[in-house]
Structure 1
Amino acid sequence: MGLTSALTTSLNGLALNEQTIDVLGNNIANAGTNGFKSSSVLFQTQLSRTLSVGSRPSADNGGTNPRQIGLGATSTAIIKDFSQGSITNSTSPSDLAIQGDGFFIVEGNNGVMYTRAGNFNLSSEDTLVSLDGLRVQGYGVDQDFNLITTQLEDITIPLGDLVIAQQTRNVQIGGALLSTADAATQGSLLQTQVSLSSAASSTFAADPATNATLLTSLYVEGDATPLFAEGDELTFTPRKGGRVLEPQTLTVSATTSLSELMTLMDQTMGIHSGGTVPQEGGVDPQVRLNAAGQIEVVGNRGTVNDLSISLGDLVISSGSGNTTVNLPFLKQQSADGHSAITDFIVYDSLGQSVNVKLTTYLESQDSTSTTFRYFLESFDDSDADIVVGDGTFTFDSEGKISGGGIQQFSIDRNDTAAISPMQITIDFSKMSGISTSAGGSAMTLNSQDGSSPGSLSRFVIDETGVINGIFDNGIIRTLGQIVLARFSNPQGLLENGGTNYIEGVSSGTPFLVTPGNFGAGSIRAGSVELSNTDIGRNLVDLIVASTNYRGNARVIDSVQRLVDELLLLGR
C-alpha cells in the first residue's frame, strides 16, 4: 500500500508541475504581448491517509499526536494577475492605455468582449477598431455634438470626411476713441431741387404728389412727361461718408408707389431711426416727402454717415439703355461729429462670410462721462434694409467703459439655407476712451468666434475618454467618449483569444463606467499597456517547478527499485 500510494502521489506531482511549467511558459511567451495578464498555479494538499488520530493525555500518559500520510497535491486554482502593467508611449494617437481596473469594450461578429490591449486604429469605415478588427464601444454624439449616454455604439472618427462651420455668436471690438473731440450736432439734410406732382404739366399745389402716388403718374412740377414708365428698372447708388454704397434696384410696375421708391432709398443708405436715435429738427432720420412736395433725406449724425446724392446716382435701365432720372438733390446741411469706422467679417451657420460695417460718433459729453453712438450695417442682410443694429456705449472720466459694453444685434439670412436670423453679441468693453488727438479714433475687431467650413484633421483623447476632434479651421468638437467595463470578480472572466475576455459565470455582469469613475481608471492616449509578466520571477518559478518535477520523478524511480528488490525475493 505504501509503495503504491507513493507512486500515485509522485505521478500527481509530475502532472501538477507539468501544469505549472505550461502556465509559466505561456507567461514568458507573452512577455511582449500588450495588455497580457500573467497567471500562476496554486497548489493544495489532497486528503491524507490517517494511521492514528492520536490520544488524549492521561494520568499515566502524556498523549500521542495523530499519524497521517498525505496523498499528494492537487491544483486548486489558476490565478490571473490583473495588476497594472507598465505603460509606454506609442506613435499613434489612437493607442490607449488604462491606468486602473477597467476593461475596454469591443464588439465583433461573436458578440461583446473585453480587453486591456489598447492597440487601436481607424478602419476604412472610420470606426475605431482593435488589431483583430473588433469595434471599440463607447458613447456617440448627436447632431449638435452632445454626448448620447443612453446606449453604447461604435466609436467613429471620420477624419477628412466630417466638415463643419461655426456661426459667429460673439464679437469683441477693440481700439481707442477720442473722448475730447467735438460732439455731433446735426445729420445730413438733402432735398430734391424740384417739387413733384401727380398730373402732367401741373403744379404741386394743384395736384400734389403723395406717398401713394404711382411712379408711372409722378411728374416734376410743370413737366408733361412722367419720370418713370412701367417696366423701368431703377438703380440707386448713393454715397455715405465719401464711400460708394452697394446699389439697390427697384422694378417699376403698374402699382409701384412713390413710398416704395423712398423706402428703397432709405434702406440703401442705411438710415438708422427710432428708439434713442437723435432727430433732426424734430424729424426722425428718414427719406420722406416734405410739405413742399420735395423728396427729403434726413440722415444720421457723424461725419462717416454724411450722405451725398449726385445727379446720376438714380438711373433707369431699359431696353434703350441707361437714363439718368431728372431728380437733382441739393445738400442743405452736412453731418458733423467726430467719427470712426471699421469693417469686419462674421460667419453664418454654413460658414459663409457676412460683411458688417461698424460706425461710431461722439454723441455727448459732460464732466463725468462721454457717450458714443454706434451703427451696424450689412449688405449681406437678406432684407433690403442694410441696418442691422445701433445703440450707445459710455466711457467714464478715466476712459473706461461704464455702460453699454455688451449689446446684441441680428442679421437676417433668409435668402440662404443658413440659420436665420444670426443673433450676435457685440462686446465694446475692451475699448478705451483715451486716444491722442494726433492718432484720432480707431476701432478694430479683436475677435469673433465663427469660422468658415473646415474638415476634421486630427483628434485627441483625454483622460476621461472624451474624443475631441480638431478641424482645420480651428474648431474643436466632441466626437464621442470611450466607455470602460468593471467586474466584481475579474478572475471569473474567460479568455477568448487575442488578449480578449468574455463574461464568465462567476465574473459578474459588467458595470459600465466612464474613465475616471468608480475605480475603472483613467485613459492615457498615445500609450499602450505592456504585459505584466515578470520575466525574472517566472524564470525562478520555472527552475523551482523543474526541480520539483525531477524530485517527483526520482520518487518514482525509487519506488521502481524497491519493487524490483521485492521481485528478487521470489527467485
Structure 2
Amino acid sequence: MSFNTAISGIHAANKRLEVAGNNIANSGTIGFKSSRAQFSALYSASQLGSGRNAVGDGVRLASMQQNFNQGESMTTSGNPLDMRIQGNGFFVVSDGGSLAYTRAGAFLKDAANFVVDSEGGRLQGYAANEQGEIKRGLRTDLQIDTSNVSARATTRVAENINLDASLPSLARLPVFDPADPATYTRVVGRTIQDAGSGAGATAVPAADHELKQYFVKTGDSQWSMHVLIDGRNPVDPNSVAPLQVTLEQRPNGSLSYSGNSQHLRKISDTEFALQGWRPAEEVNGAWVSNGAANGGTVSLPLNNGSISMLDPGDALMDRPVPAFDPSDLKTYSDMFANAIFDSQGNQHELKQYFVKDGTNSWRIHALIDGRNPQMPDSTDPLTANIVFDSGGWVQSLTGGPGFASTHSNGLQLTGWTPAMPAERVTGPEKWVPNGAAGSAKGITIDLTNLLQHNAASSRSSTHVDGHAAGQLSSLSVGRDGILCAGFTNGMNKNIGQVILASFSNPQGLQARSDTRWTESADSGVADYDVPGVGTLGSLIGDGLEGSNVVLADELIALIQAQTAYQANSKAISTEATVMQALIQST
C-alpha cells in the first residue's frame, strides 16, 4: 500500500535529519569525522511474470558511510602534547588492554606520567632506552621520564676545523743585536783608520776605529750583512742601527744583492765597499763627528782570510715564534673555544690556540679557564705540534706530557684538575681545586677533521659530550612522531616515538563514543608503523585536527530532509483522503 511507501520515506527523511543533526552537533569536536546515510529502493518480489511494471515499496537505509577526509587544522593553547596527523593514519590508544583508534590528538600527561587522551586511554608507541635510542618493534604505553639528568664529565671534543694555509708563519728571524751572538751566524772585524784633517795646531790626527761585519744566514743561499763602525751606523753615528744589505748566491756562483745600495756597493762577488762613512767619537756620552776625513771608500771583504763568510754549510738561523701569551693576539694565529664540564656539572672553558710556525706546521696550546689543566695555579699551556701533508690533512701529531697524541689523529688531555679562583685580598690571583674531577680517561680532542686549506680559518661544527645536571623543562613532538624532552642544561633526549595505524578498509571501522573507532572483520587488522611511512602521514606538534563537517552541506541536507518529510506526510494525508472517499461511497 502507498501508506507503507510514504512511511518508509518518512523514516528515511528522519534518518537523514538524525545524521545531519549529529554532524552539526560535532562540528566543533576534535578529530570528528562526518557521516552520510546511504539509502536503497525497496521492491516486492513477484512470482508472476515480468517485473517491468513494478512500482516499488519505498526506501530503506542501506548503510552509514564515514567521511575520513582531513579535518581543518586548529590552534592550541600551547600544550606540547597536542598533535595532528597530516595523512591517513590513526592514533592508537589502549584502554584497559583493549585498543581503539582515533584522530583526536589532544593528549596530556597523567599522574603516572603516561601520555593519555581525555578518557584516560594511553597513547601507544615505541619506547627509548637510556641513551635516547628508539627500540622499534615492541608497542608499549608511552610514558614520559621526568627524572633529572645527572651531571657528566666531558670525555670527548670533536671539531671540524680548517686552518687558513695562506696565513703567514709567526716564526720570525730574531731581531739583530750585535751583543747577542744568537742573532747572527758569523762576524768578522778589523781596525780601520780615518784620514784625520787639517795641519798645524788645529790638525786632527788619524784615529783608529773598529769595523765589524755581521752575517745572518736566512736561507739555503741567502744571507743578510750588517755593518757597524764603533758599534754605530757608519753614516749616522747618532744611530746604532746597522747598514744592511741582502745577499743571494746564484746557481752560477755570482752574487746578487739588494738593500742600502747608496752606501754599500758591490765591487766583486767577494767584496763590497762602504761609501759616505762619517768618522765620529763619543764626547760626554754623545757621538759627534770628529772632523776627520773618511779616507774614501772602505773595503768590506766577504771572507776572513781563506774563510768565506757566506758558507753554504752554515746552519740556517733559527726562526723562533713569539712567546705565547693568550692576551696578545700577535702570539697566535687562531683560537677556538668550547664549554666542557667536570664531574659535578660545573662548566669550564677549553681554549685551543693554533700557532703557525712553518709552511705546513702548527703548534696547538691548550688552556682550561686560562690555566694549565694539570696545574691550575700556572698559566703555562699544554702544547703539541701538528704537521700537515701537501693535501692539507694531518700527517703527524706530537704531544707532550698530559697532552699525548692518540692513534687516530687526536690528543689525549689527561690529569685535568678542575679549579676555581681562590678568595684573596691582596697579591696575585691564585686558583685552587673546586672539589670535582675530570674524566678518569681524560679528554680526547678529536682532530680527524682538522684541515689546512687556502680558505679562511673556521669551525663548521663541534661536538662536546658532558653536561651539567638538568631538570625536565619542555616536551616536543617531531614530524616523525619522536617525543623529545628538553632539560634545563640545554640537553635534548628522545623518550619515545608515536606509532600510527592504518586499515585496508577504514569504512569497516566501528564508530565508538569519544571519537574513537575499533577494528572489525570488515576493516581488517590494523597495521602499525611510524609517521612518515606510506600514506600514514606525518605528525604536526602543537596542533589539533578539527572536525571535517562542512556546515553548509549539512544545512542543505536538513532542508532536503525536511522537504522529503513534508512530501511523504502529504502522500499519507492524500492516501487517507482517497480511502475516506472509498469508504463513503460504499
TM-score tier by shorter-chain length is 0.5 to 0.7
CA distance 1:374–1:74, change in 2 (3 Å): same
Aligned mates of 1:341, 1:403 — CA distance in 2: 27
Q: 1:372 aligns with which of 359, 363, 366?
A: 363
Q: Which moved more, 1:511-520 or 1:164-173?
A: 164-173
CA distance 1:135–1:118, change in 2 (3 Å): same
Aligned to 2:385: 392
Aligned to 1:70: 56
Aligned to 2:518: 502
Q: 1:421 aligns with which of 441, 460, 463?
A: 441
1:458 aligns with 2:452: no
Aligned to 1:97: 84
Gaps of 5+ in 2: 175-319, 327-336, 398-408, 418-434
Where in structure 2 are the equivalents of 1:435-454 lying within 5 Å? 449-450=464-465, 451-454=467-470
Aligned to 2:107: 120
Aligned to 1:16: 12
Report the AA paired with residue 25 of structure 2.
A
1:143 shift after superposition: 1.0
SS at the partner of 2:63? strand
Gaps of 5+ in 1: 55-64, 184-335, 435-443
SS at the partner of 2:470? strand
1:423 shift after superposition: 5.0
CA distance 1:154–1:412, change in 2 (3 Å): farther
Report the AA paired with residue 156 of structure 1.
Q
Report the AA paired with residue 154 of structure 2.
Q
Aligned mates of 1:431, 1:532 — CA distance in 2: 59
Aligned mates of 2:338, 2:576 — CA distance in 1: 100
**TM-score, normalising length from structure 1?**
0.59
Output one character per residue of 1:356-399: Cα deviation in whole Å (capped at 9) or x when no partner: 7878888x75xx444537678998879xxxx998642136899x
SS at the partner of 1:17? helix
Aligned to 2:400: none
Output one character per residue of 1:218-277: Cα deviation in whole Å (capped at 9) or x when no partner: xxxxxxxxxxxxxxxxxxxxxxxxxxxxxxxxxxxxxxxxxxxxxxxxxxxxxxxxxxxx
SS at the partner of 1:564? helix
Aligned to 2:74: 88
CA distance 1:43–1:338, change in 2 (3 Å): same
1:138 aligns with 2:125: yes
SS at the partner of 1:523? strand
SS at the partner of 1:67? coil
1:125 shift after superposition: 2.8
SS at the partner of 2:54? strand
1:89 shift after superposition: 2.4
Aligned to 1:179: 170
Aligned mates of 2:153, 2:577 — CA distance in 1: 89
Aligned to 2:43: 47
SS at the partner of 1:524? strand
Aligned to 1:524: 540
Contact 2:170 2:355 (C-alpha < 8 Å) held by counterparts: no
CA distance 1:162–1:564, change in 2 (3 Å): farther
Aligned mates of 1:50, 1:68 — CA distance in 2: 9
Aligned mates of 2:355, 2:83 — CA distance in 1: 58
1:470 shift after superposition: 2.2
Aligned mates of 1:515, 1:359 — CA distance in 2: 46
1:149 shift after superposition: 0.7
Where in structure 2 are the equivalents of 1:223-262 lying within 5 Å? none
Aligned to 1:340: 324
Aligned to 2:141: 154
Aligned mates of 1:508, 1:17 — CA distance in 2: 32
1:496 shift after superposition: 2.0
1:452 shift after superposition: 1.8
Aligned mates of 2:144, 2:439 — CA distance in 1: 26
Contact 1:163 1:455 (C-alpha < 8 Å) held by counterparts: no
1:352 shift after superposition: 5.3
Q: 2:412 aligns with which of 397, 400, 409?
A: 409
Report the AA paired with residue 411 of structure 2.
Q
**What RMSD over aligned residues (CA atoms) do the two structures have, in Å?**
4.3
| Number of corresponding residues | 391
Aligned to 2:229: none
Aligned to 2:93: 106
Aligned mates of 1:433, 1:372 — CA distance in 2: 18
CA distance 1:422–1:139, change in 2 (3 Å): farther
CA distance 1:519–1:135, change in 2 (3 Å): same
Contact 2:151 2:469 (C-alpha < 8 Å) held by counterparts: yes
Aligned to 1:480: 496
